[in-house]
Amino acid sequence: MSGMSPRQWRGPLAMRRRPASVVLGMVIVGIIGMSLAATGAWGAAGGYARPELLAETDWLTQHLNDPGIRIVDMRSEGAYRKEHIPGAVNLDWKALKDADNEWHVIPPEKFAELMGQQGIGTDTTVVAYDDQGGLGPARLWWVLDYYGHRTAKVLNGGWNKWVKENHPVTTEVSTPSLTQFSVNIEPQKICLVEELLGEMKRPNVVIVDARSPAEYSGFDVRAKRGGHIPGTLNIDWVRNVTNDDLKTFKPAAELRKMYEAAGVTPDKEVIVHCHTGVRAAHTVFTLTLLGYNQLRNYDGSWQEWGNRPDLPIAR
C-alpha cells in the first residue's frame, strides 16, 4: 500500500461498510456494464439521445416475420445472392443519387417509385444493413428522412455482427409486392452550394468534412481539384464506428467528446459534406443519434465543389 494516500484508501473501506445486498447489486451492475460494452450494445441501453435509430441484432431476430418491417441489404448484389438476412431486399446506394445529375439526391417521384418497388410503404419500418459500418444504410436513412419518412433504422454492426452471432441467413431472393410510398420533402435537411457559400460566413455554423485526412489535405485528389472547403473541420466518418470487424457505433459519450472537442456542438448549425454525400449522411445520422437537431447534408459535396473552378479551396 506504499504511496497510497488515506483519501485513496477510503473508497474500499467505504465499500466494506455497505450492506452485502448493496455490494452485490453494484457488482451485478458492473458486470452488466462490462458485458454491454464488450458486445457493442451499450449505446442502445443508455447514452444515445435517439437509440431508436439503431436496430440491434437481437431485436431484429425477434422481428424477422413482422409484416410492418422491410429489411434492406445494401451490400453488393453478389454478396446478397450468396447469403443475406431472411426477407431482405437488395439495394445499391448509388440508386439514391440522381441518375441525370450525380451531384444531387434522387428526385422525389423516382424515390417514391423505388421505395414502392422494394415493398416499402409510407408506414413501413425500414431496417438497413451493410458490411461497411452502416455507410449505405445511413445514406438510405438520410434520404428517407429528407423525404419525410421517420421510421427507419440502421442495423448496428450490420452483416458482420449478424453472422458472427449466428443469426439466420438465407439464399432466397425476396420479391415484395408493389406498394405506395408518399414523399414529403423537408428542404431544411439539405444544403445547396449557393446556400453553403452564404452559411460559411455565419459564426454559429460549423462545416464538417467527413472525408479522409488525405482527401482533406489534397493528397488524395478525386475531382479536378484537391483540398477542402475553407474553414471546414475534418472528422473522418470512420471515427464514428469501432475499429474492428464489427464496426458498431461507438458509445455516445465517446462520440460526443470527439465532436464537441472539435467545436461541433449541439447549439450550432452543422453542415456536413464528403465527396458524394454518402459519408456525410453517416455523420448526419451519427449526430442525430446523439441528439443534434440543426443538421444539413451538402449533398453535392466535393464532387461538385472540387469540380467547379469558381469556388474557393484550401489545402
- Sign of dihedral through CA atoms 211, 229, 269, 187? negative
Is 35 in the same domain as 56?
A: no
The model's pLDDT over 215-238, given as tens digits with 9 standing for 90+, comes to: 999 999 999 999 999 999 999 999
The model's pLDDT over 255-295, given as tens digits with 9 standing for 90+, comes to: 999 999 999 999 999 999 999 999 999 999 999 999 999 99
On whether residue 311 sits in a domain, the answer given is: no
Asked if residue 22 has pLDDT above 90, the reply is no
The residue type at 193: V
At 144 the pLDDT is: 98
At 7 the pLDDT is: 25
**Could you list the residue range(s) of the whole structural domain that residue 28 is in?**
6-39
Domain containing 88 — which CATH number? Answer: 3.40.250.10
Picking from 129, 164, 199, the residue at the C-terminal end of a domain is 164
Q: Which residue has the cell 465517446?
A: 254
Is 20 in the same domain as 65?
A: no
d(CA 76, CA 176): 19
Higher-confidence residue of 41 and 85: namely 85
Is 12 in the same domain as 55?
A: no
Is 59 in the same domain as 34?
A: no
Is 94 in the same domain as 15?
A: no
Instruction: Provide mean pLDDT across the span 30-53.
Output: 56
Query: Which DSSP helix (H) or strand (E) runs through 308?
Result: none
On whether residue 45 sits in a domain, the answer given is: no
Is 159 in the same domain as 213?
A: no
On whether residue 135 sits in a domain, the answer given is: yes
Is 250 in the same domain as 282?
A: yes
Is 76 in the same domain as 18?
A: no
Q: What percent of the chain has pLDDT over 90?
A: 85
Is 193 in the same domain as 301?
A: yes
- Tell me the pLDDT band of 112, cut-offs 50, 70 and 90: very high
If one counts every other C-beta atom within 10 angstroms of the C-beta of residue 172, the result is: 9
At 290 the pLDDT is: 98
At 5 the pLDDT is: 30
The model's pLDDT over 179-219, given as tens digits with 9 standing for 90+, comes to: 999 999 999 999 999 999 999 989 999 999 999 999 999 99
At 86 the pLDDT is: 98
At 9 the pLDDT is: 24
Contact 119, 89 (CB under 8 A): yes
On whether residue 193 sits in a domain, the answer given is: yes
Instruction: Provide mean pLDDT across the span 82-97.
Output: 97
Q: Is 274 a catalytic residue?
A: yes
On whether residue 175 sits in a domain, the answer given is: no
If one counts every other C-beta atom within 10 angstroms of the C-beta of residue 203, the result is: 6
On whether residue 173 sits in a domain, the answer given is: no
Is 59 in the same domain as 18?
A: no
Picking from 127, 149, 164, the residue at the C-terminal end of a domain is 164
On whether residue 299 sits in a domain, the answer given is: yes
On whether residue 195 sits in a domain, the answer given is: yes
What's the predicted TM-score (pTM) here?
0.85
d(CA 165, CA 24): 30
Asked if residue 105 has pLDDT above 90, the reply is yes
Is 17 in the same domain as 58?
A: no
Out of 274, 287, 289, 290, the active site residue is: 274
* Number of domains, the chain: 3
Is 86 in the same domain as 33?
A: no
